[in-house]
Amino acid sequence: MRFAKAGSALSRRLVLAVGAAVFSMASVVQAQTLQFATAFPEADFSSQLVKRWTDGVTQETGGRIKFRIHWAGSLVGNKMVDGMRDGVVDAALSFTPYVSGEIVDLAPLDVPFSFPTEAAGLGQFNAESLPILDAIYEKRGSRVVAVPPVLLPDPVTCRDRFVSGPEQWKGVKIRTAGRWQAETIKRWGGSPTVIPPGELYTALDRGTVDCTLMIYNGVLSLKLYEPAKFITRNEHSIASGSINVSNAVWSKLSEADRKVMLKVGADVAAWGVAEYTRIFQETIKRLGDLGAKFCVPDAKEFARLVAAANDVFEKEISPKASADGQKLIELIKRYRGQVVTRPSVGDVTACPA
């Protein structure tokens, strides 16, 4: 009788041990390290938001989902969307200019002066744009889990000049990030050239281009203030950045893990909005301390730039957009009244006549 009880106890212990082993093996199988790509270096403002999202997801999942971040385009250059579609990249900080030439529904976001660049308006706009962007990107191989404010406003940064009127713009060779920015530059009077961020410092240093459209955080993190110290503050929106997860990875995630990614994404976006104004002001000051020179164009020049951007928006993009693109256009129209045109913080010295 004692033997039977002892055998029964032993059996129970064996069952428990096997069950624990199976659970442990299942946990190991579920654990994964995802490859994350971004075009910007680790020192960039956008990278703070990337790390808050990846660290947050890892923490919320108890370490089951981890990330290896590939900085400064080191994995696929700026081809993040193609990389996610093709299975090379699991998640990425995606920017619309890199694909809007092919996906015209994203193009409305790449035309300057399309949406707010002040914190509150930008945060609201990004939140409303998320489901629209998700629907567009899903067709191309990824899902949008966050639209944080990763892009500070965009000025024009040049090697040896300010560009504050039609005459100064004539013949200027200027780097852009994609087709729709290039269309705008042509109307402003410049000669656009598409150059990846990683090659921009050298292009400015050698005089391959005279100027660049580049967000303030990129001017700082890519050290463009070294070869190009003249910053014309015709500040505007220039593109949308989002944190995306490939369809292949998304399809394998549990519903709970999907909710974690979206929740952390919303938290990161809120943090970015709260920090946005301070970081913008600090960036302007740091650039000034590093030798950058600033000027603000007059109201007439701003009106000219906005009118030219509107021409691209209305004639080149609106007629070509699908139903998804039209939703973005309607959203942009609702927020356009909040678009900040002339800067009011930092060095607001008037541009030379």
For the stretch 13-67, pLDDT in tens is: 444 444 444 343 333 446 899 999 999 999 999 999 999 999 999 999 999 999 9
154, 235 contact by CB (below 8 A) = yes
Q: Residue 5: pLDDT above 70?
A: no
Counting residues of the chain whose pLDDT is more than 90, the rounded percentage is 84
| 13-24 per-position pLDDT tens digit | 444 444 444 343
Residue 230 lies in a domain: yes
When pLDDT is cut at 50, 70 and 90, the band that residue 246 belongs to is very high
When pLDDT is cut at 50, 70 and 90, the band that residue 345 belongs to is confident
For residue 30, the model assigns a pLDDT of 67
Count the alpha carbons within 13 Å of 305 in the hemisphere toward its beta carbon: 27
Residue 199 lies in a domain: yes
Q: Which residues form the domain of 201?
A: 154-236+290-320
Please report which residue ranges of the chain form alpha helices under DSSP H: 2-30, 45-60, 80-85, 119-138, 166-169, 179-188, 200-206, 216-221, 247-252, 255-289, 299-311, 323-335
Residues 6 or more apart whose CB falls under 8 angstroms from that of 333 comprise: none
When pLDDT is cut at 50, 70 and 90, the band that residue 344 belongs to is confident
For residue 342, the model assigns a pLDDT of 81
3-state per-residue secondary structure call for 25-72: HHHHHHCEEEEEECCCCCCCHHHHHHHHHHHHHHHHCCCCEEEEEECC
| 293-318 per-position pLDDT tens digit | 999 999 999 999 999 999 998 999 99
When pLDDT is cut at 50, 70 and 90, the band that residue 211 belongs to is very high
Counting residues of the chain whose pLDDT is more than 70, the rounded percentage is 91
Q: How many domains does the chain have?
A: 1
For residue 197, the model assigns a pLDDT of 87
The pTM of this model reads 0.87
When pLDDT is cut at 50, 70 and 90, the band that residue 216 belongs to is very high
For residue 203, the model assigns a pLDDT of 97
| 252-280 per-position pLDDT tens digit | 999 999 999 999 999 999 999 999 999 99
Residue 1 lies in a domain: no
CATH number of the domain enclosing 222: 3.40.190.170
Residues 6 or more apart whose CB falls under 8 angstroms from that of 296 comprise: 232, 233, 234, 342, 343, 348, 349, 350, 351
Residue 196 lies in a domain: yes
For residue 293, the model assigns a pLDDT of 97
- What is the crossing angle of helices 179-188 and 299-311, to 10°? 130
Mean per-residue pLDDT over the chain, rounded: 91
Residue 255 lies in a domain: no
Residue 178 lies in a domain: yes
Summarize the confidence of residues 220-226 as an average pLDDT: 96
Residues forming a β-bridge with 241:
95
Residue 223 lies in a domain: yes
For residue 6, the model assigns a pLDDT of 44
When pLDDT is cut at 50, 70 and 90, the band that residue 336 belongs to is confident
Q: Residue 245: pLDDT above 60?
A: yes
| CA separation for the pair 96, 178 (Å, rounded) | 9
Q: Select the more confidently predicted residue: 178 or 210.
A: 210
Residue 308 lies in a domain: yes
For residue 341, the model assigns a pLDDT of 65
